[in-house]
Amino acid sequence: MNPVSDSPVLSIVGTTASGKSSIAMALAREIPNVEIVSIDSMQVYRGMDIGTAKPSVQDQIEVAHHMIDLVDPSIEYSLSEFQREAINAIEEIEGRGAVPLLVGGTGLHLRAVIDNFEIPKQYPTVGKELSGEVDTTKLHKLLTQLDPVAADRMENTNRRRVLRALEVTLGSGRPFSSYGPGMQKYGPTRFRMAAPKWEREEVNRRIDERFKKQMEMGFLEEVRELNRNSEGLSRTARQALGYRQFLDHLDGVFSLDEAIDVAKRQTRKFARRQERWFMRDPRIQWFDIERNPLEMLPVLMKEWRHATS
């Protein structure tokens, strides 16, 4: 990234249902000319609004938002595309003299943007051959032989990540861990990252509460409408939590109660993985939250004024 400005950029990161969006909106009301850049790999899809917890129409009218509703859900949207568009958005905002504010919980996409690391190419022929092996643990054992560093950094049941690491390692002739996504280097950055930290039980409660609200807002109907589209959801869009469980329900795999239960459990697991990912980054400032994520606001504003004075 060759920034138009070297000014610090506030970035609100952290786990799902932690209150990131409310913090970002509160900051946007305090700091003049702020525009929010969403760092969420699923909010790029049109029509996937309720389940991805997109900002409300009212919030988007009040504060300009970027990286939302970019493509139809039938289209695969790659990490490299996200990286390019988000960096362009930040530079365009600063070019107009406005202030970008990043908010999101997709850790890999965040690092791709703030560290601008090299993203390996796709090797579809290799990937197709590898996908013929149905036993993910066998694939992980192969990755352990070829790139033990990468294998150690991912669960042996995470099929998508294991396949991608093998595809890159075999296709490029370089270990996956030698590329940006696999590296653990945390260099200096102008992005000031802050994250709310809740007790685990409270995170789970907030996830359940948000899911209940999403159901009341019509989450299932949203998925049903997407499913009516003859083009369907792309492989990447189907990874969105809740959507794949409800699609399975519509296909008769789960009852509605089972789909809801699985979606909640998967979201809790996802939140734990997010926390582990972000905790590895020493550049992130964590705030212990007791009741309200806006408890962070006074400290963030004080630090922002000091950094920009």
pLDDT of 4: 56
CA angle in degrees (0–180, nearest 5) for 203-295-112: 65
- Residue span(s) of the chain under CATH 1.10.20.140 come to 124-182
Round to whole Å and give the CA distance between 24 and 193.
12
pTM value? 0.88
pLDDT in tens, the chain (309 residues): 555 568 899 999 999 999 999 999 999 999 999 999 999 999 999 999 999 999 999 999 999 999 999 999 999 999 999 999 999 999 999 999 999 999 999 999 999 999 988 888 889 899 999 999 889 999 999 999 999 999 998 888 888 889 999 999 999 999 998 887 556 678 899 999 999 999 999 999 999 999 999 999 999 999 999 998 867 899 889 999 999 999 999 999 999 999 999 999 999 999 999 999 999 999 999 999 988 999 999 999 998 888 887
Architecture label for domain 9-117+191-308: 3-Layer(aba) Sandwich (3.40)
- Residue span(s) of the chain under CATH 3.40.50.300 come to 9-117+191-308
Architecture label for domain 124-182: Orthogonal Bundle (1.10)
pLDDT of 309: 78
